[in-house]
Each structure stands twice: as structure tokens, then as C-alpha cells.
Chains A and B, each alone.
Chain A
């Protein structure tokens, strides 16, 4: 982002420095390759659209207290179920008279919190299990992959429900439950990638320098798996948000009165025929953010695919 904001007078010089094929230092090389990735990302308008939406969501979450017109928890029973565009309540109010817009804005924080935590836990666990299984092979592979299969065999939401039921309701437990159900696909991807990578000549070459398995996995295999995992994570984000919303909807995720989007839909469900906006507006928010993640993931795939970079 910072590069595009440079003063235009400096542009040609910066550009040639950044687009060089002959970097002069470690930092220069890294920055140049980042910039080139950014350029190819920028040429995809849909991905940019996704990125802009997610950046806006991030800003909204950070500045929620400044942006929200009302306190999301204050009830006003005299003014309940106000329609869209009502005075002082742009998106109406819910069954307890709380301002829906404010609740959406604060809800962005919860959604972002869930998404970030899951994105940190599930792919990392999957990467670890998958690369170890793929590289070690033999009985280690068999054991790890059968465990993965067991997790994969359960419907996701049902498994998450079982975990939440065991751990108790709440956002953190919802995150743990979702992570526990989300890692197996990452392990599968990481293993598949590892199986092709480990046969390649550059892995053989580093073995011939006497490198051990730990170094090979962490330094040589991980960097190549991570890109496809990042893409997969962004594409899965929509599903994660929906799972969190689903748990909220079932009353097993975020607890009232916290303004989690799924829980908001759940509350609005009772009035969906007469007061449709109460459930629809948070539904649209979920839709928009999920869509943004999907578009971003598509764009990232074009940038991060190692076969594509160069030549």
C-alpha cells in the first residue's frame, strides 16, 4: 500500500529500483520481490475490491467506539424494531431497541477476533502435521493421516457442536472448536505438497550438504507450502465466519448481549416475516465479508503460486 502512495515525481526512480532484476542487497531483493507480487495483485480488480473491504472492516473494528452512533448494549424498549432509515437509527433497531448499525460495527471486532485466532491456529497445526507426515512417510505418515481422516469424517458443525458442548459456550471455546475441525484439510494440502517437494532435486541437493530432516522441513518445505495454505485459509475464511455465526445462531458461540453477527441473525429470526431487516442486515454483513475473503484468496493464489512467479 505504501508504495502506491509515493509522490508521483519520484515514481520512475522508485519503480526501476523496485522492479530490478539485479538487486544489490538482501533487503533490496526482498522488497523488490514483494513489490512485484503487489503489482500482480493490484492488476486483479476483484482481489483489490476484496482487500479494500477487509481493510475497511479492520478500520471499523479498530475505531468502533468512534464510529458507532449508539452504545450497542443500551436498550430502548419504547423504540424497538424500528425500520430501516428510522430517525437516528440508520439500520433500524432490534427487538430490545438496540441500534443495529452500532451492533454491526462492534460485531466486526468479534468476527475479526474469531477469524484471526482460527487463522493462526488451524493452518499452523495442519502445516505441522502435514509436512511431518509427508516428509517422514512410513508409519508416522500412516498414524498422522488416519487421525486426520477421523477428524475429516465428522460433519464440521456437528463436531464443533460436540466440542462446544464439552467445553462450554463462549467465543474462545467456539474458536477452539472451529480450529479443531478446520485443520485436517490443511494437513492434507501440506502433505500433498510435501510429497511432490521432497522428491525434487533441490531437496536432494540440500540433503547432499548434510542437512537434517528438521532443517529441510522448516527451511525448505514450509516456505513452499505456506503460500498454498494462505490461499486456502482466505478461501476458507468465509466458511469459518459462517461456522462461527452458525454456533452463535445456535446459541453456542458468543453469548448475549454481545453483538456477534450470527447471534444477531438468531435473535432476528423470530421477527423475520414482519421485521425482515433485523436478521437480513447482519446476514448481508456476513455475506460481504465472506465474499471479500474469497476474492482476496483468488487474487493471492495468482500472486503466490510459485510456478507463476518469474519467467
Chain B
């Protein structure tokens, strides 16, 4: 069963002078239950694919299928029950004037759930936050706690597919570890399909089984995690990206180390 199938996807932005093609002729197939990574540098179009999928960018052509259904111009509420997204910056993704309780209960009501109180408590529990967090405002939460709340919101409609847009890039490494572990647990517990976007190859390598490398709006290579671990990508750009992320290499005229 296929989770997400994308054929000949083009996404563009209509600028003042010219049309900017953000994604060009992209094909992608993600099996249900898989966890798939999209990597690339800024402007490579990786986040744009997620935004086009969720209907946040209307200017696209091609074919997108989610769990066998072909997507049209407009997304129904039914679609949002199946597909949810976690945003990059937890400081920007929560309404500054809404408490956790308001945020989750609004989400649950929009999807037509009853016994909202019970569900809120269960959601907070699922993401490792106790009931004490329920009535807090975003400014009373740390970055990691905010991201947990955002994940709880995404889980609220009980989706099958979770789109993760750099979910940990704004967080400290120790918090990143907690969030990645949480996402891993949730995927197993709820049999979720992940499509994760990141610029950090190590993070994607930890979370995903297959990885697509994007450059300037095109997928240049799809590799397996083993290929990446062996530092053996086929495309020169993937190799360059991989080498850059291994850390800084001194030039040859290295000064002698001081004691």
C-alpha cells in the first residue's frame, strides 16, 4: 500500500518579475509505514514539497496521491485528518495568546471529537507532558516543550501520515535527542508514515530508512541509509553534502598544535 505518490510535481512562486520554480519535475514514492527523509540546502525545495502537499502553496502542477486518493486544488477536512505537519520553529508554530488547552481543544473540536477533556490529557501524556502543562501559555514553555505541544496538536486528529519540517533544527542537541526519540516511539505506537525534511544528514540518517537528496528543486539521488553510512553516494552533490557535514577539515598548512 502506498502512502504518498508524487508524479511530475512542479511548484512555483509568482514573483513580481518572474516565476520562481521551487520544485521541478519531481517523482517520489513513499510506502505506508515508511520513514522517508528529504535533505538539501536552503532553497533546494524540500520544504516546498511539504507545503504543496498540505495545500499551503496553491501554485503547483502534476500529480499527488495520498493513501491512494488523488489530491485536487482544495484539501478537505478529511485530508487533514489523515495528514498532519510539525513545523520547524516551535517558537513560531504556537499562537502566542492561546494556552495549550485552547490550542488542543480547538483542534479536537474542529475534527469533531467528543470528550475533549479526556483526549487532551491523553495527548499530553503521549508526548511526555503531564497534565500540569495543560493551562500554560507558550511563553511559559521551553523550546522542547513547545515542540512537544506542536506534536500533540499534529497527533490530535489521529493522522496516518506526519510531515516533519526540520522538527529539531531550532532546538539544543540534548532536547533534539528527546524529541527524536519521542517521534520514533510515536511512529511505532501509532504506525505512522513519516516524511521528514532536514538539512542535518545525521538527524535524517537516524530517523529514516531512505533519503532523497535535493538540489535546486530537483531530486538528484535517492539512497538508502546503508549507502549513506558507507559514505558511498552516487551523485557528486550528495557526496559534497555528506563530506561537509562531517565537520571542518583543516587546510594542509596546519599550524602545530599548542600544548
Please list the residues of chain A having a beta carbon within 8 angstroms of any beta carbon in chain B: 21-26, 28-29, 33, 200-202, 204-211, 219-220, 223-224, 306, 309-311
Contact = CB atoms under 8 A, between A and B. Distances in A.
B16 interface: no
Interface in B114-140: 132, 135-140
B63 interface: no
Given A200-B92, A202-B94, A209-B157, A22 B136 contact: yes
A208 B97 CA distance: 19
Contacts of A311: 139
B165 to A, nearest CB: 9
Contacts of A207: 55-56
Interface stretch (B32-40, B80-88, B172-180): B80-88
B111 A209 contact: yes
A310 B145 CA distance: 15
Nearest to A197: B95
Contact of B87 (A25, A204, A219): A204
A29 B135 contact: yes
A224 B97 CA distance: 7
A300 to B, nearest CB: 16
Given A22-B140, A28-B135, A205-B150, 7 more contacts: A200-B92, A205-B87, A205-B94, A208-B85, A210-B110, A219-B106, A309-B96
Contacts of B80: 208-210
Interface string B197-237: 00000000000000000000000000000000000000000
B136 A208 contact: no
A28 B101 CA distance: 13
B46 interface: no
A185 B76 CA distance: 37
B107 A209 contact: yes
B61 interface: no
Contacts of A220: 95, 98
A224 B96 contact: yes
B97 A310 contact: no
B20 interface: no
A201 B136 contact: no
Contacts of B132: 22, 24
B93 interface: yes
B67 interface: no
B135 A26 contact: yes
Contact of B96 (A26, A28, A29, A306): A306
Contacts of A209: 80, 106-107, 110-111, 153, 156-157
9 cross-chain pairs, A with B, having the tightest CB-CB distances, nearest first: A310-B139, A210-B77, A29-B135, A201-B93, A23-B135, A201-B92, A201-B87, A202-B95, A210-B80
Contacts of B94: 202, 205
A208 B99 contact: no
B29 to A, nearest CB: 23
B26 interface: no
Given A201-B89, A205-B153, A223 B135 contact: no
Nearest to B84: A208
16 contacts: A21-B136, A21-B140, A23-B135, A24-B132, A26-B101, A29-B101, A29-B135, A201-B87, A204-B56, A205-B93, A205-B94, A207-B55, A208-B56, A208-B80, A209-B110, A309-B139
A213 to B, nearest CB: 13
B54 interface: yes
A309 B98 CA distance: 13
Most interface-central of A26, A204, A209, A223 (chain B CB within 10 A)? A209
Contacts of B87: 201, 204-205
B137 A310 contact: yes
Contacts of B139: 309-311
A106 B87 CA distance: 57
A81 B97 CA distance: 56
A159 B248 CA distance: 67
A29 B99 CA distance: 8
A211 B135 contact: no
